[in-house]
């Protein structure tokens, strides 16, 4: 059974769009499907709209409200139906580890969805689709990404990594979170936090150090939110280089002079953009096999998801 992930139905190839077509995403349907158990939802079909159907859009009224209305006939207002559908559907999605939404959709778009004024002009910056906005408000820790943005290798890697990480978090907690489970999880992700957010690395470290003073339920929810927010930051070359050099330090007594130089050169080549991060990581994993270290072997940074996804090839 794959990792449960929500998806806009059109993105997985279902012909539910206003024109009777779909927005099939090859990466989602042909690569992620091997690891994710996609659960398709079309909010527009969910409120009873037919396929095909007249187009709808988001409009900001003079009162400042955002309404979901017909493009050609703004008197046809679907806002209340969509809000009711969202309020009923979203509580059933707590098992999800991520969600892929359809870009630009007035119901599913994550950002920059066109928002019209009553005179037909658009408001700069746009807005979020009605359903997706409600989803992100209800589950702010959930990884959400748009289908189009998955074409960017860095955004793609970050989204998939967050999905695998949230799944790992829930698996580690099991049916009953404990302080020991939370501390163990945090320990495995120290290098990840160092790479994604040095600030969060320090603040979450202090938080975990004081876990005995927290109410367990309060800690669980606060930690989950702050941790997932931290890894939403893309790990840049500078931070990744710091982590790689940190890893290098664990082998100072195990490697000879030539081996140390080889690893240091690979790390520098990555730092200046001549090599993908996969190059120094592959060598570090090789040295780790030759010189086992219990702490390093638990670090998710080294192997965050299946290699077959090839997400680090362009990083």
Per-residue pLDDT of the chain (315 residues; tens, 9 = 90+): 899 999 999 999 999 999 999 999 999 999 999 999 999 999 999 999 999 999 999 999 999 999 999 999 999 999 999 999 999 999 999 999 999 999 999 999 999 999 999 999 999 999 999 999 999 999 999 999 999 999 999 999 999 999 999 999 999 999 999 999 999 999 999 999 999 999 999 999 999 999 999 999 999 999 999 999 999 999 999 999 999 999 999 999 999 999 999 999 999 999 999 999 999 999 999 999 999 999 999 999 999 999 999 999 988
Identify whether residues 223 and 256 lie together within a single domain: no
Identify whether residues 142 and 159 lie together within a single domain: no
Please tell me the distance from the alpha carbon of residue 263 to that of residue 279, in angstroms, as a whole number.
Answer: 9
Please tell me the distance from the alpha carbon of residue 183 to that of residue 128, in angstroms, as a whole number.
Answer: 36
Q: Give the CA dihedral 109, 110, 113, 115, nearest 10 degrees.
A: 110
Identify whether residues 13 and 134 lie together within a single domain: yes
12 within a domain of the structure (yes/no): yes
183 within a domain of the structure (yes/no): yes
Can you give the pLDDT at residue 60? Answer: 97
DSSP-derived letter for residue 122 is B
94 within a domain of the structure (yes/no): yes
Identify whether residues 103 and 23 lie together within a single domain: yes
Identify whether residues 64 and 168 lie together within a single domain: no
Whether the Cβ atoms of residue 271 and residue 300 lie closer than 8 Å to each other: no
Domain count, the chain: 3
Identify whether residues 118 and 162 lie together within a single domain: no
Domain boundary among 210, 230, 250: 230
Identify whether residues 201 and 277 lie together within a single domain: no
208 within a domain of the structure (yes/no): yes
Domain boundary among 195, 230, 265: 230
Can you give the pLDDT at residue 205? Answer: 98
Please tell me the distance from the alpha carbon of residue 224 to that of residue 229, in angstroms, as a whole number.
Answer: 8
Q: From the CA atom positions of the chain, what is the Rg in Å?
A: 23
Identify whether residues 141 and 184 lie together within a single domain: no
Identify whether residues 35 and 161 lie together within a single domain: no
Name the strand (E) or helix (H) holding 150. none
DSSP-derived letter for residue 113 is B
314 within a domain of the structure (yes/no): no
47 within a domain of the structure (yes/no): yes
Strand partners of residue 56: 70
Please tell me the distance from the alpha carbon of residue 70 to that of residue 225, in angstroms, as a whole number.
Answer: 36
Query: Are β-strands 144-146 and 56-60 bridged in parallel, bridged antiparallel, or unpaired?
Result: unpaired
Peptide bond into 241 cis (omega under 30): no
Identify whether residues 163 and 134 lie together within a single domain: no
Domain boundary among 230, 252, 274: 230
Can you give the pLDDT at residue 314? Answer: 85
Identify whether residues 225 and 187 lie together within a single domain: yes
Can you give the pLDDT at residue 1? Answer: 80
Identify whether residues 145 and 15 lie together within a single domain: yes
CA distances from 241 to 204, 230, 264 (A): 21, 18, 10
315 within a domain of the structure (yes/no): no
Range of the domain at 212: 153-230
């Amino acid at each position: 059974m794959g990792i449960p992930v929500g998806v806009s139905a059109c993105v997985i190839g279902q012909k539910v769009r206003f024109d009777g077509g779909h927005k099939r995403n090859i990466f989602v349907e042909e690569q992620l499907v091997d690891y994710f158990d996609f659960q398709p939802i079309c909010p527009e079909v969910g409120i009873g709209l037919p396929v095909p159907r007249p187009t709808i859009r988001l409009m900001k009224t003079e009162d400042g409200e955002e309404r979901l209305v017909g493009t050609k006939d703004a008197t046809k207002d679907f806002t209340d139906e969509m809000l009711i559908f969202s309020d009923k559907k979203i509580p059933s999605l707590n098992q999800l580890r991520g969600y892929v939404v359809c870009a630009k959709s007035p119901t599913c778009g994550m950002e920059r969805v066109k928002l019209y004024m009553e005179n037909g002009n658009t408001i700069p910056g746009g807005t979020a689709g009605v359903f997706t906005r409600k989803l992100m408000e209800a589950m702010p820790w959930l990884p959400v990404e748009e289908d189009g943005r998955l074409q960017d290798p860095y955004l793609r890697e970050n989204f998939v990594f967050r999905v695998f990480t949230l799944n790992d978090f829930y698996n580690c907690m099991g049916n009953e979170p404990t302080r020991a489970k939370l501390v163990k999880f945090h320990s495995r992700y120290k290098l990840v936090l160092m790479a994604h957010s040095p600030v969060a690395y320090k603040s979450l470290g202090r938080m975990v150090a004081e876990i005995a003073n927290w109410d367990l339920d309060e800690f669980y929810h606060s930690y989950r939110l702050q941790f997932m927010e931290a890894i939403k930051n893309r790990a840049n070359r500078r931070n990744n280089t710091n982590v790689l050099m940190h890893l290098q330090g664990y082998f100072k007594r195990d490697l000879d002079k030539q081996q140390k130089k080889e690893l240091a050169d690979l790390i520098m080549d990555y730092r200046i953009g001549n090599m993908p991060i996969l190059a120094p990581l592959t060598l570090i994993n090789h040295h780790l096999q030759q010189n086992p270290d219990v702490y390093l072997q638990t670090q998710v940074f080294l192997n965050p998801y299946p290699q077959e996804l090839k997400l680090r090839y362009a990083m």
